[in-house]
Chain A
Amino acid sequence: MMTVTLIAIVALMATFLTWIVRQTINVQPWEATSTPDDGRGRLPSFLTTPRVGLIVVMAAITSLFALIISAYNGRMMIGSDWVSVDIPAILWGNTLVLVLSSMFLHLAWRASADGDRGAARVRLLLGGASALLFIAGQAVAWMQLRRSGLPLAVNPASAFFVLVTALHVLHLLGGLVAWVRAYARLEGASEPRRAEAGIGLCTIYWHFLLGIWLILFGLLLIT
């Protein structure tokens, strides 16, 4: 029942614990030094403080979706009342839109790194707009499901469909708050490179949510 969760948690913990052990093995902590010896245990410089924060958030979100997938599989195996949902065709379009959204943000990140404010602005706006279009598309899918499928209260597959897609949309909405801040910073910054870090964080988060969506969409398709 909890296999998916266990695999995800073991993978996350194994990565973390391996790093911890590598940093702490072969160290004689009791030895004092006359100069500060601080090379050990520092993360690589590309892992800036906000990026480490984002990685921590993404680890927690990974755990959340692993748990929901475990619950999905568990409930599907237990109940005899599970009726597979006919996946609304619009989800294919929505997936394409989310891929485009992720791509636009990536291009905006590169443009801001190159100091091209105009390109960064257009691509960032396109990325945000396509994310909003994805959310609207998901809402259409819920309405289609409501009209054609079994109601939530009767079919657990319908209930899970709404639950997993709604949770994913909520995380995207959280990302849009960061997107607004990144856009405001790009507009307010004297130099587009100052907005690069914020746009980069949004991009990484968008790619992550795209990955989560592809897993969820695959799950919905095969069940």
Chain B
Amino acid sequence: MAAHGYDAVSDAPPAEIGEMELPHAHTWVGKYVWSQDAKVIAIQYGITATAIGLVALVLSILIRLQLGFPGAFSLIDPSSYLQHVSMHGMIMVVYLLTALFLGGFGNYLIPLMCGARDMAFPFLNMLSYWIYLLAVLILVASFFVDGGASGAGWTLYPPQAITEGTPGSGLGIVLMLVSLIVFIIGFTMGGLNYIVTVLQLRCRGMTLMRLPLTVWGIFMATVLALLAFPALLVASIMMIFDHLLGTSFFMPTMLTISEQRGHEGGSPLLFQHLFWFFGHPEVYIVALPAFGIVSDLIAVHARRAIFGYRMMVWALVAIGGLSFVVWAHHMYVSGMKPSFGFFFATTTLVIAVPTAIKVYNWILTLWKGNIRLTVPMLFALGFLFTFLNGGLSGLFLGNATVDVPLSDTYFVVGHFHMVMAVAPILVIFGAIYHWFPKMTGRMYNGPLAQVHFWVTFLGTYAIYYPMHFIGLAGVPRRYYAYGETAFVDESVMTLNAGITIAALVVALVQVLFLFNLVWSAFRGKPAGSNPWKATTLEWQTPETPPGHGNWGDELPVVYRWAYDYAVPDAREDYVPQTVPADSGPATVRDEKPLS
């Protein structure tokens, strides 16, 4: 068993759940390219998502340069500005956040935390990554085709998206839609693995209620994704039909200089319903894994059992269920019956209840905890602040009457970036720092990571906090330039310039982050197998980084939940999940706490 602070006593017979045959590769290409090892696939997902995420980051810088210093950069024209906005949004939401949380962390952590050797269907798992890569390449190709990438906004609303005059309305939008279809097919193969592995391949003793909340978060997010992504699939296929075959699912009758164009009678509203039936659960597809991971970061680094574990699980489940009945709050300005608006405003506010339970429980976990301000903990605390702020502005937007004047302003941009861009990204950074020692066997550089945290955390506030005020002043989003617009005060321009400078600084510090990861992976201090003195199974592997199959000859056996920190009468302040209840005082290893 693992070399950790406790010598686990295993008096149980070998695992009763079936051993799986692992496809061991013997060549470098088999091990690292066509790999069927979930951990390698996780890193492949991570590298690809980071690479395409950097493209989206550069696009956001171009957007900010134009907004901060209008017209100063000739390479950004109105068309390319809209293309940058659209591609930035779609890449960040789908190809970075979804792929990294589920494909990246899901693949790495689910088998390890459940005590499994690998995912349930390793071949399909491998296929899911390569199909994801294909989807990314198709999307990237759209930058280079005639007319460029789609500039229809990440929501791809018809009729604009496929109407001549919109940037990328030719091949660009087709490639975007095909890429999304390919992504969904690939995701389904991965998602199938995550769910089945959690349900079927947990090791002995790992009951559902002993699962770490990270696994619960990823599990529920996958359930949502498998039910919600088909809406985007259907919408994409129908829009391709409209564009290429001339059907009129979404395309209404339109006149150009009194002449009717080809389409007739379609409903753009139908697309909006389908899009947001996917789009709102998508918020939780990103948020639920973040909720789960941050729960574990807080418990480990505050040395406290998570407060209200059962409530945390049920809150995840409740949020997942409710997320399917709030989608139309994105469509208040599209026009709907007041009773519908009332219904969706109510469901939106109801979803704040389980969410608030989670926030209170995180705070109560911290209360009187032995808080260690490690870098993962800093990011977890940063998430708490940011998610709370972003969530509170959501209360305004969830209310139909307040939403109408705020709709399509920078208030919305500020809100959703805080709640579903910055907050999850802070969790991703925290999670990377937390599990980096397990993935590489080495420690990251602490001071560089501290700089990364503070500049990112404060910098994102410098970017998004002022946007709320710009939005309240009535400044609309998605505009290339405002020109001589009477209601846009001069101070807005000053704020925009300041936001752009902050964005440049935050973007630059991400280079420092990547440098730290690469440098530390080869030159970092050896971390040992369990540097955080954590209880969960991934820290109890016989090898660090874990080998293919994770557990050596025998699967682990679990006797307790994942949150035995500060246990009374225990020699150490943590007891791993593999230690039986009656094992007596444990052996303590001399490991220095790390920062």
Please list the residues of chain A having a beta carbon within 8 angstroms of any beta carbon in chain B: 1-2, 5-6, 9-10, 12-13, 16-17, 20-21, 23-24, 27, 29-38, 40-41, 43, 49, 52-53, 56-57, 59-61, 63-64, 67-68, 70-71, 74-75, 78-82, 152-154, 156, 159-160, 163, 167
- Shortest distance from the beta carbon of A18 to any chain B beta carbon, whole Å: 11
B204 and A75 contacting across the interface, CB-CB below 8 Å: no
Contact of B208 among A24, A35, A167 (CB under 8 A): A24
Contact A24 B310 (CB under 8 A): yes
Assess A37 versus B223: contact at CB under 8 Å? Given A53-B192, A153-B248, A159-B249: no
Sort A-B residue pairs by CB-CB distance and give the 9 closest, nearest first. A36-B205, A153-B246, A32-B560, A64-B230, A79-B265, A41-B208, A32-B581, A81-B265, A29-B209
Chain A residue at minimum C-beta to C-beta distance from B320 = A13
Q: A29-B561, A56-B195, A75-B267 are in contact. Are A38 and B238 (CB under 8 A)?
A: no
Q: Is B321 touching A75 in the complex (CB atoms < 8 A)?
A: no
Which one, A43, A64, A74, contacts B267 given CB within 8 A? A74
> Which residues of the partner chain A approach B209 to less than 8 Å between Cβ atoms?
23-24, 27, 29, 40-41
Chain A residues, Cβ within 8 Å of B201: 49
Q: Mark B88-131, 1 if CB is under 8 A from A, else 0.
A: 00000000000000000000000000000000110000000000
Q: A53-B192, A64-B234 are in contact. List 7 more A-B contacts (CB 8 A).
A: A29-B561, A37-B207, A71-B249, A74-B267, A75-B266, A153-B246, A163-B241
Q: Which of A24, A41, A56 contacts B226 (CB 8 A)?
A: A56
Q: Are B305 and A30 in contact (CB under 8 A)?
A: yes
B188 in contact with A57 (CB, 8 Å): yes
Chain A residues in 8 Å Cβ range of B196: 49, 52-53, 56
Contact yes or no, A30 B561, CB < 8 A: yes
Which of B209, B561, B581 is packed against the most chain A CB atoms within 10 Å?
A: B209
Interface centre among B234, B245, B317, B582 (most CB of A within 10 A): B234
Interface centre among A35, A36, A78 (most CB of B within 10 A): A36
Q: Does B425 contact A (CB under 8 A)?
A: no
Q: Are B205 and A60 in contact (CB under 8 A)?
A: no
Least CB separation from A35: chain B residue:
B12
Nearest B residue to A52 by beta-carbon distance?
B196
CA distance A6 to B323 in the complex (A): 12
Interface positions, chain B 230-276, Cβ under 8 Å from A, are: 230-231, 233-234, 237-238, 241, 245-249, 262, 264-267, 269-270, 273-274
**Contact at A152–B267, with CB atoms within 8 Å?**
no
B245-A152 in contact (CB<8A): yes
- B230:A153 contact, CB within 8 angstroms: no
Interface centre among B226, B231, B559 (most CB of A within 10 A): B231
Interface size class of B (residues with CB under 8 A): 35 or more
Given A2-B273, A17-B321, A163-B238; A53-B207 close (CB under 8 Å) = no
With A and B bound together, what is the CA distance between A13 and B319 in angstroms? 12
Which residues of the other chain, A, contact B264 by a CB distance below 8 angstroms? 81, 154
Assess the B230–A32 pair: CB atoms within 8 A.
no
Select which of B228, B273, B582 is within 8 A of A34 by beta carbon.
Answer: B582
Ordered by A's residue number, 29 sampled pairs between the chains whose C-beta atoms are within 8 Å are A2-B273, A9-B227, A12-B227, A16-B223, A20-B317, A24-B314, A29-B310, A33-B580, A34-B559, A35-B580, A38-B206, A40-B208, A52-B195, A53-B121, A59-B227, A60-B226, A60-B227, A63-B226, A63-B227, A71-B249, A74-B267, A74-B273, A78-B265, A79-B248, A81-B264, A154-B264, A156-B265, A159-B248, A160-B249
Q: How far is the CA of A160 from the CA of B309 in the complex (A)?
A: 47
B227 and A38 form a contact (CB under 8 A) = no
Is B370 part of the contact surface with A, judged by Cβ < 8 Å? no
The reply to whether the CB of B325 lies closer than 8 angstroms to some CB of chain A is yes
Once the chains bind, are B273 and A1 in contact (CB under 8 Å)? yes
Is there an interface contact between A2 and B247, defined as CB atoms closer than 8 Å? no
| In the complex, chain B residues whose CB is within 8 Å of the CB of A38 | 16, 202, 204-207, 558
User: Are A13 and B321 in contact (CB-based, < 8 A)?
Assistant: yes
A2 to B314, CA, bound (A): 27
B313 beta carbon closer than 8 Å to chain A: yes
Q: Mark B289-322, 1 if CB is under 8 A from A, else 0.
A: 0000000000000000100011001100100110
Known A24-B209, A36-B205, A153-B248; contact A74-B270, beta-carbon cutoff 8 A: yes
* Cα–Cα, bound, A112→B398 (Å): 57
**Bound CA–CA A114/B230 (angstroms):** 39
Q: Which residues of A contact B266 (CB under 8 A)?
A: 75, 79, 156
Pair B200/A30 contact, Cβ less than 8 Å: no
CB proximity of A148 to chain B, nearest CB, Å:
18
Q: Which residues of A have CB within 8 Å of B280? A: none
CB within 8 A of A78: which of B199, B234, B270, B310? B270
B324 within 8 A of A: yes
Chain B residues with CB under 8 A of A79: 248, 265-267
Q: Which residues of A contact B200 (CB under 8 A)?
A: 43, 49, 52
Q: Are B192 and A153 in contact (CB under 8 A)?
A: no
